[in-house]
Structure 1
Amino acid sequence: MTSTDRGDQGDGADTDARPHPREMFIRLLFDTVRQDPFPSGTQLDLIEESIPAQMVPEYVELLIQKSREGCFPSTDVLRRIQRMSAGGGAAPRC
């Protein structure tokens, strides 16, 4: 049986279709943050420590949505939006 008989291309096409483990981790945290009315600062820190650049706009959009849900948006979330939209990434940790 050849690789084409099994349905794979032999060029890595099957592995390219799967998301990177880091992206799967970020998406798991995104789902948790979406469902939580008050997202955990620890979870937001984990996202910001791991997020690839191409996912930052989606993350900022998620934070903006969370800020619009209540009458008084979290100052922490607003600062995260400001920092991430400016391209600064996560805040330095002590």
Structure 2
Amino acid sequence: MTDNDAGDPRAMLVDLLLRKVAADQYPSNTMMDYLEELLLPDEVPAYVAVLVQKMRDEQFPSISMLRRLMNLADAA
């Protein structure tokens, strides 16, 4: 979050959810759904980076995580 986002509830929520998704070993689908609804185009790369890192960290990444990444790639 930048200083310009300090009073922006949407930006604050995106920052919070992105941090939670990054920190949780198995983030909830609901949390990721909300985050994806709130993301602006310039915020998508940071989210994709979090999901890609999660897939790298897992021996058997989840199909739902793979689907999310595919949907984000299709939208780009």
Larger radius of gyration: 1
Question: In the alignment, which residue of structure 2 is the partner of 1:40?
Answer: 28
Q: Which runs of 5+ in 2 are unaligned?
A: none
Pairwise CA distance, 1:70: 1.1
**What are the equivalent positions in structure 2 for 1:1-94 lying under 5 Å apart?**
17-19=3-5, 20-87=8-75
User: One-letter code of the match for 2:35?
Assistant: I
**Structure with greater helix share of residues:** 2
State how many pairs are aligned.
73
Rounded Cα–Cα distance in structure 2 between residues aligned with 1:76 and 1:63: 11
TM-score (norm 2): 0.86
Rounded Cα–Cα distance in structure 1 between residues aligned with 2:74 and 2:46: 14
TM-score (norm 1): 0.71
Pairwise CA distance, 1:30: 0.8
**SS of equivalent residue, structure 1 residue 72:** coil
Structure 1 stretches of 4+ with a deviation exceeding 2 A read none
Quote the sequence identity (%).
Answer: 37
